[in-house]
Amino acid sequence: MHITTIAVSYSRKFNLGNFNSVDLSCSLWAQIDAEEDEDCCIAILQDKAREAVRSEYHKVKSNQGPVPTIKINGAVVEDSIPESEQFEALSVHPAHLQ
């Protein structure tokens, strides 16, 4: 059997303190050729997804405030952040609900 596409997902929940947390995730896909090593491609995608989540966490953590963008059932509660910097969070800070 020849695999042509590999998909990897990585998700992690971070405690931001003060009853606030963020759940960050990244999904990556890659098209591979028959001569490429599937295990090597999987490892590369896993590393890239993990690093993307870590990078986003450091952006959130350096802000030192509540999570700036929250999606509830697909609707953005606060949309003042550019779409390129938005991420989904499972926990909701009470200030965002007013």
Residue range 11-41, pLDDT digits in tens? 999 988 888 888 999 999 999 998 899 999 9
Cα–Cα dist 35/26, whole Å: 27
Closest to 3 (Cα-Cα) out of 50, 39, 47, 45: 39
Residue 92 half-sphere exposure, CB side, CA atoms within 13 Å?
13
Backbone phi, psi, residue 22, to 5°: -140, 140
Q: Phi and psi at residue 74, in whole multiples of 5°?
A: 85, -10
pTM: 0.60
Q: State pLDDT tens for residues 29-83.
A: 999 998 899 999 999 999 999 999 998 898 888 875 444 555 555 555 554 445 5
Would you give the end-to-end CA distance of the chain in angstroms?
54
